[in-house]
Amino acid sequence: MNKQIGSIIPRPSRPNMVGDGFRVFNFIPGGIGQQRISPFLMLDFAAEHNFSPSERERGVDVHPHKGFETVTIAYKGSVAHHDSAGNSGVINPGDVQWMTAGAGILHKEFHEKEYSRKGGPFEMVQLWVNLPKKYKSEAPHYQALTAEGMGKVKLADNAGQVNVIAGIFNGVKGPAQTYTPVNLFDIKLNKGGEVSFSVPEDHNTALLVIDGTIDVNGQSAPRHSFVLFENQGEDITIRGWENSVVLLLSGTPIDEPIVSYGPFVMNTQEEIYQAIRDYQHGKFGVL
Ligand code: MN
C-alpha cells in the first residue's frame, strides 16, 4: 500500500541566519512539532546560495550540544568543524558528518578556508536526531561518512542513483550507525527517472526536495518543498520531472518526553537545568 501523504509544506518565505555562514530554511520542528516527527528534532535546509569570496571564514562559533546527534549533509561547498573532544575535519560535497553529542560537547562550524576564498554555491542540510534516554550520556563521538563510503544503488533504466547514508534501501545498507532505526537516503533522479522503495509503516517519514520538481505517490512536490507522510502504508514512488535531488528521512519514533532548550534536548526540565549548569561549569570541555 502506498504511504499516505499528510501534507506538502512549501519553503518558508524567509531564511534564518545561523551565525553568518548558514542561511537556512527551517522545516523541523517548523509547524510540524518534534513529537510528531520523532526521532528528528530539527531540520535546517541551507538552500543553494552563492557566497562571495571571503578571506575570513563565515560560520558559527563555539556552541554546545547535549542529548542528541547532529547530522550534516553537504551538497555544495565545504564545512570545517572542530570540537572540545579534539576532533576536527572537513565535510565536502557528498560527505555526511554524524556527530553524537551525547553527554555534551562544544562545537564550531565554519566554511572551509579554500571554499571561503573562492566563494560559490553552498548547499547543506543539518538534521538533529534525538537519542533515547539511555543513550543521552554517551561519550561524544563522530562518524565521518565519506561520499565513497555510502551504500550505492544504481537505478535501472538510467533513472538515477541512491546513496544510502543510514538504514536500508531495497536491501542495501548505509554506513551510519544509529541508536534507533533511522533511514536517510540521498536520492538523485535523472529527468523522467523513477524510484520505488518501502519504509516501515510505523516510521515517521518525510522528504525534502533539494532540487528539481518531483511527483511522489502521484502528488506534485515542487523544488524546496517538504513532504510529510502519514504512518499508513509503506510504499513510496518518486518520479523526477527534471534532474532532481531528494533527501528521504524516516525513523522509529522515540516514545519519551522531549524537553528542549536550544542546543540541549533531554527528557525533563530538571535535566535541562542540570545541562545548563554542567555547561556553565565547563563540563563540556574547552574549545
Ligand atoms: Mn553544532
Return d(Cα 127, Cα 248) in angstroms, integer: 12
If you average pLDDT over residues 52-65, what whole number do you get?
97
Ligand 1 centroid – CA 216 distance (Å): 32
Predicted pLDDT of residue 287: 86
- pLDDT single digits (tens) 225-265: 999 999 999 999 999 999 999 999 999 999 999 999 999 99
Return d(Cα 49, Cα 27) in angstroms, integer: 18
DSSP 170-213: TTEEPS---SS-EEEEEEEE-TT-EEEEE--TTSEEEEEEEES-
Ligand 1 centroid – CA 63 distance (Å): 6
Residues 6+ apart with CB under 8 A from 277: none
Average pLDDT of the chain?
A: 97
Q: Write down the number of H helices and E strands in the chain.
A: 2, 26
Contacts 24+ apart (CB under 8 A), 26-33: 27/206, 27/208, 27/226, 28/127, 28/206, 30/226, 32/228
**47 within 8 A of 123, measured Cβ to Cβ:** yes
Ligand 1 centroid – CA 255 distance (Å): 25
Query: Does 14-145 match 148-176+181-253 in CATH topology?
Result: yes
Ligand 1 centroid – CA 17 distance (Å): 14
pTM: 0.97
If you average pLDDT over residues 126-139, what whole number do you get?
97
CATH architecture of the domain formed by 148-176+181-253:
Sandwich (2.60)
Ligand 1 centroid – CA 44 distance (Å): 12
Residues 6+ apart with CB under 8 A from 86: none
- pLDDT single digits (tens) 140-192: 999 999 999 999 999 999 999 999 999 999 999 999 999 999 999 999 999 99
Fold of 14-145: Jelly Rolls (2.60.120)
Beta bridge partners of 66: 264
Residues 6+ apart with CB under 8 A from 12: 25, 26, 27, 30
Predicted pLDDT of residue 126: 98
| Residue carrying the nine cell digits 520523532 | 38
The answer, yes or no, to whether residue 198 has pLDDT greater than 90, is: yes
The least confident of 30-34, 42-46, 75-79, 131-135 is 30-34
- Residues near ion ligand 1 (CB < 5 Å) are 107
Where are the chain's structural domains?
Answer: 14-145, 148-176+181-253
For β-strands 120-130 and 79-83, DSSP reports them as unpaired
